[in-house]
């Protein structure tokens, strides 16, 4: 068969009208664009949810696997995302600002006992009297105004380096102090055991286990 004979360009206007009249009232094929777009009512069927095994109605053209969003979120808990998937998420969320209501909901869901790093309210306890501004200055001088985790200088940091308790004990000050930048101080709070060993080795190498500021 020669190509181009059955294209719409080859048909005349009258011939096209005759075809449309002949197809009126006849059922549309499932592979047609009108069927795929969902404009026409599609027969439904039941499907089992991957998480709870409940049956739910689903349109044939869609690819739903869960009966609800909650089941889908529970199914994804504990699964690690690939690097490509993380990059896609970061690109889609660039410049996206959350509303005040969502920020309040997140803060409530991660406050106090709901937070994974909750230690019974230790952060609200007061520091000892020895932990003052003069002691912090002496610790920063001792460490040459550099972060002892990433090596960032105080001038480049743009603010004063924070003084961190190695064993997270607010009453213990000598020699249980080390200088960190703001970013490293946040990271260390989630990696307590490994950070304690690393910083104590640092003090041993420098011979500062018996250090006192005065």
Instruction: Flag whether pLDDT at 34 surpasses 60.
Output: no
C-beta separation of 168 from 193 below 8 A: no
More confident residue, 121 or 59: 121
Q: What is the pLDDT of residue 59?
A: 64
- On whether the CB atoms of residues 164 and 127 are closer than 8 A, the answer is no
Torsion from C-alpha of 167, 168, 174, 180, nearest 10 degrees: 90
> Which residue has better confidence, 6 or 21?
21
State how far Cα 174 lies from the chain centre: 38
Give kind and range of the element (H or E) at residue 46.
Answer: strand 44-48
> Quick one: 173 exposed, middle or buried, by C-beta within 10 A (0-12, 13-18, 19+)?
buried
**11 pLDDT higher than 90:** no
User: What pLDDT score was predicted for residue 1?
Assistant: 42
Contacting residues for 67 by C-beta, under 8 A, at least 6 apart: 49, 51, 52, 54, 56
| 70 — pLDDT class (breaks 50, 70, 90) | confident
Q: Are 65 and 49 within 8 A, CB to CB?
A: yes
Q: Between the ranges 19-33, 48-62, 162-176, where is the mean pLDDT highest?
A: 162-176
Q: Is the pLDDT of residue 65 over 70?
A: yes
Spatial distance between the Cα atoms of 161 and 151, rounded to a whole number of angstroms: 11
pLDDT at residue number 178:
92
Separation of alpha carbons 153 and 179, rounded Å: 11
CA distance 176 to 35: 70
Confidence at 97, pLDDT banded by 50, 70, 90: confident
Q: Evaluate if residue 146 carries a pLDDT over 90.
A: yes
């Amino acid at each position: 068969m020669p190509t181009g004979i059955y294209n719409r360009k080859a048909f005349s206007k009258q011939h096209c009208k005759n075809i449309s009249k002949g197809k009126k009232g006849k059922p549309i094929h499932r592979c047609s664009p009108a069927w795929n777009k969902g404009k026409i009512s599609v027969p439904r069927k039941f499907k089992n949810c991957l998480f709870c095994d409940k049956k739910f109605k689903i349109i044939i053209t869609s690819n739903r696997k869960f009966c609800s969003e909650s089941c889908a979120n529970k199914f994804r808990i504990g699964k690690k995302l690939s690097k490509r998937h993380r990059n896609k998420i970061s690109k889609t969320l660039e410049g996206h600002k959350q509303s005040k209501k969502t920020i309040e909901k997140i803060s409530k869901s991660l406050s106090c006992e709901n937070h994974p790093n909750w230690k019974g309210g230790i952060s609200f306890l007061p520091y000892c009297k020895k932990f003052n501004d003069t002691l912090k200055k002496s610790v920063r001088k001792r460490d040459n105004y550099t972060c002892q985790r990433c090596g960032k200088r105080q001038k480049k940091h743009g603010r004063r380096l924070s003084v961190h308790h190695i064993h997270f004990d607010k009453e213990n000050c000598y020699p249980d102090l080390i200088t960190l930048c703001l970013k490293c101080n946040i990271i260390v709070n989630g990696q307590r055991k490994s950070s304690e060993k690393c910083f104590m080795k640092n003090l041993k190498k420098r011979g500062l286990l018996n250090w006192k500021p005065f």
